[in-house]
Amino acid sequence: MFAIVEIAGLQYKVEQNQKLFVNRLKGDKGAKVSFDKVLLTVNGAVTVGAPAVSGITVDVEILDHVQADKVIVFKKKRRKGYAKKNGHRQQLTQIVVTGITGFDGAKKEAKKAAPKKAAKAEVATETSETAE
């Protein structure tokens, strides 16, 4: 069972008890955070959202706020006497996924959505028959 969730503007594939680093989140160590912008879930069957699957949340716990390794940015133009050196350390948050909840609601909504599509198809065939 896994889900693809949008966290701080980036998409991550998450599973139960998985630890990962994401862009800096607001909150203290030990705080519980919930994300409801779930784009896809797989729990025996694939549920794809348009744009997000409603009724499913990903619950995480903030473990720590850290900095990534330093990245050196060096710019140079040959024969011009121009050289510039900068460094950057990205601010990250280490999180652990505590749970993916709400799978029952997603299955019910998927079943409800299927008959609507079938009803639209029937209406389309009736209008094409009357046009002939």
**pLDDT block averages, 10 residues each, the chain of length 132:** 92 95 95 94 87 91 97 98 98 96 60 55 56 54
Q: Which residues contact 113 (CB under 8 A, 6 or more apart)?
A: none
* pLDDT at 104 (0 to 100): 64
Task: Spell out a b/e string for 110-119, using b for 16 or more CB atoms within 10 Å of the CB, else e.
Answer: eeeeeeeeee
- Contact indicator for 94, 35 with CB cutoff of 8 Å: no
Per the CB < 8 A criterion, the answer to whether 112 and 68 are in contact is no
CB atoms within 10 A of CB 121: 10
31 phi and psi angles, rounded to 5 deg = -75, 145
On whether the CB atoms of residues 62 and 98 are closer than 8 A, the answer is no
Two tokens at 87? 């460094």
**Taking the complete model, does pTM exceed 0.95, yes or no?**
no
Residues with Cβ within 8 Å of 66's Cβ and at least 6 positions away in sequence, in order, are: 21, 92, 93, 94
Distance of CA 66 to the CA centre of its chain: 21
Q: Note the pLDDT of residue 50.
A: 86
Note the pLDDT of residue 106: 45
